[in-house]
């Protein structure tokens, strides 16, 4: 103790003390937190767990009763499909205000997402998460899906689902990476700028056809390099710069005298 007391004015003392304090806090938390959490999951069902997650992560904006305010939508009656889409694609919880919430790595694992979805679904009836069979692309009709996609979706999401621009910084995202379940839920719930395509206007079978069409597009183009499937912009840049550039290069070489 004498040695310690002698060094209590050492300039590194605060740092050492701080580290010790952090270690103790962390250690105590590690020792106590798991026990209380496991007690929760063991004792209470998904809805209660979801409510806790909701109060900790969502209530700041959506309100403790999930009724929303001003620009923040109410979550009563949005159903589990909306939660699974927004939380599963990482759009919620939102990191910052912007033209639109963008997809990012999901903050919650599937179990927590399901708990949140169960809680929100318990607030009021709404569209629920589809089953694996409802979104199986193998069961869908690709050509039917193409016709429905062309009429309802292609104007924003591009003819093959490559995405496109909307107004004031908003955009329709590319659908290459989106999971089948999330595509289904987006149609059903109409997240953010997207309108709703409920089961009466596009039936569940037709939604599956659309998913089959979109999954088929992921194989790419039979013609080769698709240049992002963005149409005249990327194709024009390619042909004007690389195509005509190499033609000019050939013409210069043919016309130049040999050394």
Partner 1 sequence: MSEHKNTDLTVTDGSNELDRFPDPGMPEHKLRMADKDPKAAKRAEAQVVILFLISIVGTIAMLIAYFTIRPDGTTESVRNANLALGLGLFFALMGIGLAAVHWAKTLMSDHEKSEERHPQRSSDEVREAAVAVLKEGAEDSGIARRGVLKGAVVTALALFPLTIVVPLISSIGGDWDIAKFKHTIWRRGTRLAIDPTGKLLKPEDITIGSIVHVIPDVPAEERNSHHWITEKAKAIVLLVRLDQSELKEAPDRKSWSYDGIVAYSKICTHVGCPVALYERQTHHLLCPCHQSTFDVADGAKVVFGPAKRPLPQLPIMVDDEGYLVAQSDFDEPVGPSYWERLK
For partner 1, the binding residues (CB under 8 A) are 147-148, 151-152, 155-156, 166-167, 170, 172, 190, 192-198, 200-201, 206, 219-224, 253-254, 257-259
* Residue closer to partner 1 (CB basis): 47 or 72: 72
* Residue closer to partner 1 (CB basis): 57 or 152: 152
Closest CA to 115 of 188, 43, 185, 52: 52
Q: Which residues of 51-78 are buried (b: 16+ CB within 10 A; e: fewer)?
A: bebbeebbeeebeeebeeeeeeeebeeb
3-state secondary structure of 172: strand
CB of residue 166 to partner 1, shortest distance in Å: 6
Query: CB neighbours of 94 closer than 8 A, spacing ≥ 6?
Result: 61, 101
* Residue closer to partner 1 (CB basis): 36 or 167: 167
CB of residue 93 to partner 1, shortest distance in Å: 19
| Helices 110-123, 79-88: inter-axial angle, 10-degree rounding | 150
CB of residue 20 to partner 1, shortest distance in Å: 51
Tokens 């869908």 belong to residue: 140
CB of residue 144 to partner 1, shortest distance in Å: 9
Query: CB neighbours of 218 closer than 8 A, spacing ≥ 6?
Result: 176
Give the Cα separation of 47 and 145 in Å (integer). Answer: 36
CB of residue 158 to partner 1, shortest distance in Å: 10
Distance, C-alpha 7 to centroid of its chain: 54
Give the Cα separation of 234 and 248 in Å (integer). Answer: 20
CB of residue 259 to partner 1, shortest distance in Å: 6
Q: Report the alpha-carbon angle 134-137-143, nearest 5.
A: 115
* Residue closer to partner 1 (CB basis): 11 or 253: 253
* Residue closer to partner 1 (CB basis): 49 or 215: 215
* Residue closer to partner 1 (CB basis): 25 or 193: 193
Give the Cα separation of 29 and 22 in Å (integer). Answer: 10
CB of residue 80 to partner 1, shortest distance in Å: 17
* Residue closer to partner 1 (CB basis): 60 or 198: 198
Note whether 85 and 185 are within 8 A (CB).
Answer: yes
């Amino acid at each position: 103790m004498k040695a310690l007391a002698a060094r209590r004015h050492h300039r590194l003392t605060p740092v050492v003390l701080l580290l010790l304090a952090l270690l103790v806090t962390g250690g105590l938390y590690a020792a106590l937190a798991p026990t209380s959490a496991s007690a929760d999951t063991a004792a209470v069902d998904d809805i209660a767990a979801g409510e806790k997650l909701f109060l900790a992560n969502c209530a700041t904006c959506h309100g403790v009763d999930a009724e929303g305010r001003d620009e923040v939508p109410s979550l009563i009656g949005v159903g589990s499909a909306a939660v699974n889409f927004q939380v599963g694609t990482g759009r919620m919880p939102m990191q910052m205000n912007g033209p639109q919430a963008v997809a990012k790595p999901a903050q919650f694992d599937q179990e927590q997402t399901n708990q949140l979805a169960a809680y929100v679904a318990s607030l009021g009836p709404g569209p629920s998460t589809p089953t694996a069979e409802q979104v199986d692309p193998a069961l869908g009709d690709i050509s039917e899906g193409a016709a429905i996609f062309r009429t309802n979706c292609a104007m924003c999401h591009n003819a093959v689902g490559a995405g496109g621009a909307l107004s004031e910084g908003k955009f329709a995202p590319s659908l290459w990476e989106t999971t089948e379940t999330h595509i289904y839920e987006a149609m059903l719930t109409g997240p953010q700028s997207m309108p709703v395509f409920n089961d009466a206007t596009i039936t569940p079978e037709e939604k599956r056809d659309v998913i089959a069409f979109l999954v088929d597009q992921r194989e790419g183009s039979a013609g080769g390099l698709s240049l992002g499937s963005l149409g005249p912009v990327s194709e024009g840049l390619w042909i004007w710069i690389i195509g005509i550039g190499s033609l000019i290069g050939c013409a210069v070489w043919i016309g130049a005298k040999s050394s």
